[in-house]
Amino acid sequence: MARIFITGSSDGLGLLAGRQLVEEGHEVVLHARNERRAADTRAALPAAATVVIGDLVSLDGMRQVAAQANAAGPFEAVIHNAAVGYRERRTKTPDRLNHVFAVNTLAPYVLTALIATPRRLIYLSSGLHRSAHPGLDDLEWEHRPWNGMQAYSDSKLHDVILAFAAARHWPGVFSNALEPGWVPTKMGGPGAPDDLEAGAATQVWLAVSEDPAATVSGRYFYHLRARDPNPVARDPAVQDRLIEICASLSGVAWPEVPRSS
């Protein structure tokens, strides 16, 4: 039995992955952004061990989530599932950061840096990351006309970059990224053609399976099969530059070695 933490798991793919893990006999810690959502989450999956509460839109919220997760851990795996979508308008967070960047890129960075490092790290990306650019000279969209689809796509590339950076810096950790497909969640919409159950299954497989195909690092998956990611994600200079910027903006340093519990 493993203990797994899933961010953004009050509904959608995160909750579904949690349900699949519980049905397999694992302990799951879920996450919701506020008390109301947490109550709904507990009602939706009462077998979950607990629900961590904190809004990943702010740095304070990110730190609160990390602290609560550490109190509920240690974990065999952390699934970085939380995200906002491509329909977002250009808005600023309480820390005056771009909203999409803060939730989709900076939050997984901060949580990776602050939560005791598990054996496995899983980052949710999207097939849209293939048409993305790291945008490291303008992560906050201060100098480009706002494009919500591009901002979302870029942030999903950042998640792959973070996964591969962790794989490179921490060779003892299995760190991978995946795309769940275009599935019918709130973000994907009711007409999305991909299979929702299959979209969660790869998260579960990477979190707990001892299949040799799952106990790897620095890979990108779709429906339990490895796929080629955007090649820029494998560039060590890009990885380290994204880490440097995230560390500067958050005030949270990237651990040179995995963080112990």
d(CA 257, CA 260) in angstroms, rounded, equals 9
Domain membership of residue 259 (yes or no) is no
Global model pTM greater than 0.85: yes
* Encoded tokens for 154: 């870029």
The verdict on whether 220 is a catalytic residue reads no
Instruction: Select which of 86, 156, 186, 220 is catalytic.
Output: 156
Cα-only R_g, the chain: 17
Q: Which domain holds residue 209?
A: 3-250
d(CA 99, CA 22) in angstroms, rounded, equals 32
Buried b (16+ CB within 10 A) or exposed e, 205-221: bbbbeeeeebeebbbbb
Domain membership of residue 179 (yes or no) is yes
Per-residue pLDDT of the chain (261 residues; tens, 9 = 90+): 899 999 999 988 999 999 999 999 999 999 999 999 999 999 999 999 999 999 999 999 999 999 999 999 999 999 999 999 777 778 899 999 999 999 999 999 999 999 999 999 999 999 999 999 899 999 988 999 999 899 999 999 999 999 999 999 999 999 999 998 654 555 545 554 466 677 799 999 999 999 999 999 999 999 999 999 999 999 999 999 999 999 999 999 999 988 886
Structurally, how many domains does the chain consist of?
A: 1
Domain membership of residue 188 (yes or no) is yes
d(CA 112, CA 259) in angstroms, rounded, equals 9
Strands annotated E in the chain: 3-6, 27-32, 50-53, 77-80, 120-124, 174-179, 220-222, 225-226
DSSP annotation of 223 reads T
Cis peptide, bond prior to residue 46, ω within 30 of zero: no
Residues whose CB is less than 8 angstroms from the CB of residue 231 and which lie 6 or more positions away in sequence, other chains included: none
Domain membership of residue 261 (yes or no) is no
Domain membership of residue 256 (yes or no) is no
Instruction: Select which of 152, 186, 220, 222 is catalytic.
Output: 152
CATH number at residue 13: 3.40.50.720
Q: Which amino acid is present at 154?
A: D
The verdict on whether 222 is a catalytic residue reads no
